[in-house]
Structure 1
């Protein structure tokens, strides 16, 4: 086991042991120095069979499912897909024979060769906005589709306006939706110290476990920012993979924490979606 893996393992133990009293801030986690010889601890999840697999599976990335509010800036307009346009996307996918799968399904396929259905697709939603529950969730149920929602856990716990509640997320979990981490507070996770990354990984993971009684296995890197150390920490926290903002559909078994997605913008119609799904990424 490398030094970084040893340090991560120790920090995970420290932070987990403090969970009953609340997860500490990075400043409260002291530097640790050890000389004992470590032993590897297996990570729960699918055991890779060693075969390199590449699958072209589109992962769509949504944010707001709502019309942009009056006076919205260009960023908000770009992130906002009106409900009727979102439904046209789902109707297109349904008519074209796409089957929604979970990220877990994709990981099992990449690591173990578990078969996927014809025309698989993954639907993801970042940030945990309230309009995702209000507008996207009913339409997903209408078409019998599943999706993964990546939430910013501190925003949910602190009841930020315009974000979902834990009760709403629980309802979605019970309906078969998957919940993943989008960190505690949406920072840039590249170039950060080890203890801070552990705080982000375990803090978001334990909040989801506590409030929803499910274990998140996937991270959506905030604003697409991450590095090798961030990947190492989330992997050691028993996450199975991560999604990026890198455009494309090529998913690789040797890059489980760098899954590609297709960004869906507010202006994209069903015809645009058809073009995006047929590009030679």
Structure 2
């Protein structure tokens, strides 16, 4: 047990005693404006309560009681291991987070090489952006600058357009109409742009995300996720082999 946690536990115990001591002045203060004399008569036999006590005494007691309650809360929270981030809504650090549980889903449509639509077992639908990868666009403009070494000219853009179609076909063959597992990452948000789920799509025990990178159908998307090193290693091998979209680098010059 850490010293801070031990001190917090000791403070919690000590403050319970302080709460009891402060309780009776708080009760008196709550009835100050209505029947102070009656309250004093009724509590006259208790320690610290006098029929002749001025109202200011009860007000001070009330303040003391509030402080004790606040300290009791803080000490008790510390003793239980509750941090301020748990109370004020702050986002926990990555080391304190765990990934959501896996979910089973059926792929009902392949949008492109890095996005699919799925249906869950409860009948609901959602869109999944494959975490950590970026395939050339098929429904919008692809920017060659995003793919290192590909020339930003008509030939480079045409090559990437064809690579995008190949990536989409690869995903269709792998998962369309298949039941897959959506696996989330503790370091990445559950949802990204356009409120799409961010997940690894696992089919037959293998990550489709990594397969796309290894086959050269996608680059590693510059973001934070647990499998970054493995994905970059797969991309390096795909580049060396000029696989998939990386063959477009031949248009340079």
* TM-score of the two chains, using structure 1 as the length reference: 0.23
With CA pairs under 8 Å and 6+ residues apart, which has the higher RCO, 1 or 2? Answer: 1
* TM-score of the two chains, using structure 2 as the length reference: 0.24
Q: Which is richer in helix?
A: 2
